[in-house]
């Protein structure tokens, strides 16, 4: 029986959803699948799962045509492997150019043999108060996106089972287009890591943000919420704050843009 292990990071639920769909599609092909959030496993524990698997998957949301820092760190701490067959996928709202290839570029030096890579279009999770940035929380539209993503998941799994190569965005053209977004994103990343703060009036001190932050960037000191400057921009605290007290670059959420994106399915909770 084919043994598959999937490691994923998901800030606000899209990549979690796609990872579950992938697992379902593999199980329908009689494979044994483990789906593991990288927030819940140490690299050493992951190493043990990896040596035991026939096929390994890595999934993440794309940020400015780049990998989330938490995924880069996780991959960097894995032990080197010997050419193990691996697939990579990213979720994106619109476009990343070479979103899967950029993941491959971190995995290949660790010995992973990337045979398949693809992108899944999912709802936009960026609902920041940035002028001209389009955002919609239209549930009907979301349902259509999920149906299309689900079909693509099945096609991707079928291709992998049949041994047919899929390497979306691995060509030079996609790489150049991706770099147009990635280079400025990487340049600005250090400065953006300190963009979150809190509206003292709205904040109820429920500490959900502290609990949800995947990199422990938020802490409470003498009843005040503070950040440590190591935000990875996943937007979980911003989107899931029940009273929208989390601000981005000092700006409050603009409710005219709609409620923040809180996962692809009703009632989704990051933990």
Ligand X SMILES: Cc1cc2nc3c(=O)[nH]c(=O)nc-3n(C[C@H](O)[C@H](O)[C@H](O)COP(=O)(O)O)c2cc1C
**What are the structure tokens assigned to 203, written together?**
């904040």
245 is a contact residue toward ligand X (CB under 6 A) = no
Query: At closest approach, how far in Å is the CB of 92 from ligand X?
Result: 3
**What are the structure tokens assigned to 257, written together?**
């843009």
Query: At closest approach, how far in Å is the CB of 17 from ligand X?
Result: 8
Among 116, 122, 112, 121, smallest CA distance to 101 is for 116
178 is a contact residue toward ligand X (CB under 6 A) = no
- The contact mask relative to ligand X for 74-103 (x = CB under 6 A, - = no) is -----------------xxxxxx-------
Q: Rounded to whole angstroms, how far apart are CA atoms 203 and 131?
A: 24
71 is a contact residue toward ligand X (CB under 6 A) = no
- The contact mask relative to ligand X for 187-226 (x = CB under 6 A, - = no) is ----------------------------------------
Q: Is 144 helix (H, G, I), strand (E, B) or coil?
A: helix
Question: Is residue 103 within 8 Å of 90, Cβ to Cβ?
Answer: yes
11 is a contact residue toward ligand X (CB under 6 A) = yes
Angle at CA 123, nearest 5°, toward 112 and 89? 10
Judged on CB neighbours under 10 Å (0-12, 13-18, 19+), 152 is middle
Residues 99-138 that bind ligand X (CB under 6 A): 122, 124-126
Query: At closest approach, how far in Å is the CB of 53 from ligand X?
Result: 22
Question: Is residue 84 within 8 Å of 113, Cβ to Cβ?
Answer: yes
Residues interacting with ligand X, by CB under 6 A? Answer: 10-15, 61-65, 91-96, 122, 124-126, 181, 233-235
């Amino acid at each position: 029986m084919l043994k598959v292990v999937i490691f994923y990071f998901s800030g606000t639920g899209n990549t979690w959803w796609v990872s579950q769909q992938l697992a379902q599609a593999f199980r329908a092909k009689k494979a044994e699948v483990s789906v593991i959030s990288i927030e819940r496993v140490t690299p050493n524990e992951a190493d043990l799962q990896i040596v035991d698997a026939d096929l390994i998957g890595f999934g993440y949301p794309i940020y400015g045509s780049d990998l989330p820092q938490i995924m880069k760190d996780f991959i960097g701490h894995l032990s080197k492997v010997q050419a193990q067959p691996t697939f990579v996928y990213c979720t994106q709202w619109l476009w990343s150019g070479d979103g899967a290839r950029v993941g491959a570029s971190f995995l290949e030096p660790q010995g992973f043999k990337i045979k398949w890579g693809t992108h899944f279009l999912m709802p936009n999770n960026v609902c920041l108060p940035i002028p001209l940035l389009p955002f919609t929380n239209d549930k009907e539209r979301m349902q259509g996106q999920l149906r299309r993503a689900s079909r693509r998941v099945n096609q991707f799994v079928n291709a992998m089972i049949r041994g047919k190569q899929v390497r979306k965005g691995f060509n030079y053209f996609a790489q150049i287009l991706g770099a147009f977004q990635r280079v400025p994103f990487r340049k600005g990343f250090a400065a953006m890591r300190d963009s979150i703060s809190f509206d003292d009036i709205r904040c109820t001190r429920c500490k959900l943000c502290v609990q949800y932050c995947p990199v422990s960037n938020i802490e409470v000191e003498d009843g005040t919420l503070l950040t440590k400057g190591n935000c990875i921009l996943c937007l979980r605290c911003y989107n899931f704050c029940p009273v929208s007290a989390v601000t981005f670059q000092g700006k409050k959420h603009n409710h005219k843009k709609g409620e923040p994106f809180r996962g692809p399915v009703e009632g989704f909770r990051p933990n």
